[in-house]
Amino acid sequence: MHVMYFTERPYRAVPNDEVIKNGFFGIPNKHFDSEKGAILLNEYLDEKILAEELGFDGVMLNEHHDTAFCMGSVMNVEASILARITKRVRIILLGNPLPVVGNPLRLAEELAMIDMISHGRLVTGWVRGAGSEQFATNANPGFNREYFNEAHDLVVQAWTRPGPWRYEGKHFHYRFIDPWALPLQKPHPPIWIPGLLSPETVVWCAQHRYPYIALATFLEPTVELWNIYRDAAAKEGYQVGPENFGYLQKVFVAETEEKARDLAKWDMFGGAGIGYSLFGKPQWMFPPGYNSKDATRRVARQFSDPAAAKGSPFAGGNGGAAKDNDATAQERIAQSQIDVRAGAWGTDHIDIEATRKQIFDAFPQVERAMQVICGTPKSVIPKIRKVLEVLRPGIFGFWQNDGPISSEARTQNIRLLAEEVVPATREIAKELGLVSPFEVKPGLRKLPASGIPESVGSLAPLAS
Amino acid sequence: MADGAIQWREGTVRVDGTDLTVVTGGAGRPLLVLHDELGYAGSLKWNRALAARRTLVTPLHPGFGRTERAEWIGSIRDMAAFYARYLKENQLAPIDVIGFSLGGWIAGEMAASNPAQFRKMILVAPAGIRPQQGEILDFFQMMAPQQVLASVRDPANTREFAELYGGPMAPEQFESFEEARAQTARIAWTPFMHNPSLPHLLGVAGGLPTLIFWGRQDGVVPPSTAEAWRAAISGARVVMFDGCGHRPEIERSADFIREAEAFLGV
């Protein structure tokens, strides 16, 4: 198993009242103080050095724009620094938002330099960017998927095809491609794709034999999604294994149960469970043309019947997977995400105190759904085992508490994880045969003689 | 489909490999109708009134739902060229035209490219020219229902608006708006809903009989833009409605119909 450390690099000084009113995206940047930003950005780099020292295999970065949720607006800058100041860990970029970057050739050069400076420790990945990112960078959402596909193909070619050559595409045009920055890893760095269970992306991953990393998604639809990957892989002629899958899990540990839970609940303002209802208002999360027709149909159903999002608009929970008995697996998967992200439909007038209470009141539910695992190192290990038994991922990311908690509490979490939880996690992974993409190359397993592919994940362990 | 005395017929016409859906109805000299960025709203009071003496020819823009997307159409000028070909191949030019908002922009681009394909032109709160004061409402930062609401000054007291959009929005209606909005994004995301060249290109359309309708409280395309259009097309006349938003055809339909009929000579 490949074990990595992740944090969003939140601007933790953001007033929570503003988050409740706006969601993270769209908070006026008068609330941003560069003095505090300078301290925090350095602190997040230091955390990664610590994670390396204490034995994590990788440090993961992502990128968001115009939001206190994540200060990593240009994650290649952070990755470049990490390439030099770390020595051993993999630098895992999940992912560069291809449609909003605008210049895929420059991206290919940046990543190649990071790979060389880190002596071949880069793992690169691509995302479409959240809906809000299309506004923050003025990337036309109507071409989001087209940009993604074309930019991906171009970057991989720029790394592998001897130059100079000329490129005339639909959205990108280069008269001279001959980069003198090529990756150290050949033919190119590993590519992993993170996501929130878009079936279209998962099928694309299976076709390209790229591991798919589910970002703290609900367990039930994640297993269904693994099966969609499994079937798409079978069409490509291979059997999936743990090496095809990764999972990012919120884990927060402290010396006592009480302390852990008391701090962990602040992660409700940092991406835990409800994170995507607070991430941004619907008009920014669903820009026109950003979604496929199928996805738009699901949004339309949700939008015309806001009551379908049961309970508090900010409550987490997996209502979608349970309520649509006759929907296809793919529809249920997307629906459950929409239920969460679309929680704030039409809430123009928000009672801040009542909403804050709702947010914290939802924490036990988030914990029950294992969106957050918290406790002492000893008490969280059986829960992690359950997640590993259900999803059987070859890549496992520990997602730091990104709420407004102290630096000391974060550091203590990293220490306790590394010293007590990570070793146990490795043992469990070994026992379960959870091999990483570095141990077994994704896409090389043979299908069973019957031609019927075997599943990787299973909901059965949840019943026990 | 029957609509009072008007028989609306829907058919397809092949234009450059695209099956263009066209709704036709009425009697008399044809009038080309170019719908707005939210798609064809169906038969309203003004359609029925003008159809008494004119044949309304309403193509449904490629990519807006009922006509498939033509991949090569990447701008409003491409759309204008597409319709120029439609007119030519169907011997419809020169034709009278009425265009609404984004449809008005298409008409403007067609006039700027070849004014001879039009006989008379009516533009209703057209997009296409950057306002000198204010900005075109960024409806891409709104969900469709909010965009629809922003299009009229007083939704609660605009009868046809309530008939069209009142009550909960059906999923099919939401999807249809989203298809229209997605295609609008593809062809008008940036520069947003205007072409910086258009005021210059329109010089060639000077003398084309042109009537421009605007609502003084238009919250989508600022009414000050009317003056830029008037200046760009010499001889153009502006009719400004008080107490009216972006959709004079439903907000001030009686005045709208009277002015349009007088201008078209029906």
pLDDT per position as a tens digit, A171-185? 999 999 999 999 999
pLDDT of amino acid A130: 92
Query: Which residues from A are below 8 Å from B179, CB to CB?
Result: 293, 296
Its ipTM equals: 0.94
pLDDT at site A341: 37
Q: Is the pLDDT of residue A464 over 80?
A: no
Q: 3-state DSSP call for residue A124?
A: strand
Q: Does this model's pTM top 0.90? A: yes
Does pLDDT of B122 surpass 60?
A: yes
Do residues B256 and B248 lie in contact, with contact meaning Cβ atoms separated by under 8 Å? yes
What residues in B contact A169, CB-CB < 8 Å? none
Using the predicted structure, report yes or no on whether residue A227 has a pLDDT greater than 50.
Answer: yes
Report cis status (omega within 30 of 0) of the bond before B206. no
Are residues A392 and A456 in contact, defined by beta-carbon separation less than 8 angstroms? yes
CA-nearest residue to A280 within chain B is B141
Query: Is the CB of residue A414 less than 8 Å from the CB of residue A50?
Result: yes
Alpha helices (runs of H) in B119-215, residue ranges in sequence order: 144-150, 159-165, 171-188, 198-201
Residue in B closest to A131 by C-alpha: B141
Taking the mean position of all CA atoms in its chain, how far away is CA A404?
20
Q: Do B182 and A288 touch (CB under 8 A)?
A: yes
Residues from chain B contacting residue A143 (CB–CB below 8 Å): 186
Tell if the CB–CB gap between A284 and B141 is shorter than 8 Å: yes
Which residues in chain B have Cβ-Cβ distances shorter than 8 Å to A149?
none
Q: Do A296 and B175 touch (CB under 8 A)?
A: yes
Residues from chain B that touch A303, judged by Cβ atoms under 8 A, are 143, 169, 171, 174
Residue to mutate among B69, B137, B178, with most A CBs inside 10 A, is B178
- Evaluate whether B221 touches B244 at the Cβ level (below 8 Å): no
- For the cut 50, the answer to whether the pLDDT of residue B86 exceeds it is yes
The distance of A320 to chain B (nearest Cα, Å) reads 17
Overall CATH class of domain B2-264:
alpha beta
Q: Does A280 touch chain B (CB under 8 A)?
A: no
pLDDT at A329: 45
pLDDT of residue A325: 36
Q: Is the CB of B186 less than 8 angstroms away from the CB of A142? A: yes
- What residues does each domain of chain B span? 2-264
Q: B109 pLDDT exceeds 90?
A: yes
The verdict on a CB contact (< 8 Å) between A142 and B143 is no
- Closest in B178, B179, B189 to A140, CB measured: B189
**pLDDT score, position A324:** 36
Res. B90 pLDDT band, cuts 50 70 90: very high
Query: In this model, does residue A317 exceed pLDDT 80?
Result: no
% residues pLDDT > 70 (chain A): 89
- Chain A CB contacts of B183 under 8 Å are 142, 289
Interchain contact, B178 vs A299, CB within 8 Å: yes
Give me the mean pLDDT over the B104-129 stretch.
98
How confident is the model over A205-223, as a mean pLDDT? Answer: 95
Q: Please, what is the average pLDDT of chain A?
A: 89
Give tens-digit pLDDT for A339-348. Answer: 433 443 444 5
Using pLDDT thresholds of 50, 70 and 90, give the confidence band for residue A447: very high
Q: CA dist B185 to A147, B40, B92, B100, B252, Å?
A: 14, 17, 29, 17, 29
* Mean predicted lDDT score pLDDT of chain B: 95
Alpha helices in chain B, H assignment, sequence order:
45-51, 76-89, 102-113, 144-150, 159-165, 171-188, 198-201, 225-232, 248-251, 253-264
Neighbours of B241 (CB within 10 A): 21
Residue A266 has pLDDT above 90, yes or no: yes
Q: From the list A284, A289, A304, which residue is nearest B186 (CB)?
A: A289
Is A15 in CB contact (< 8 Å) with chain B? no
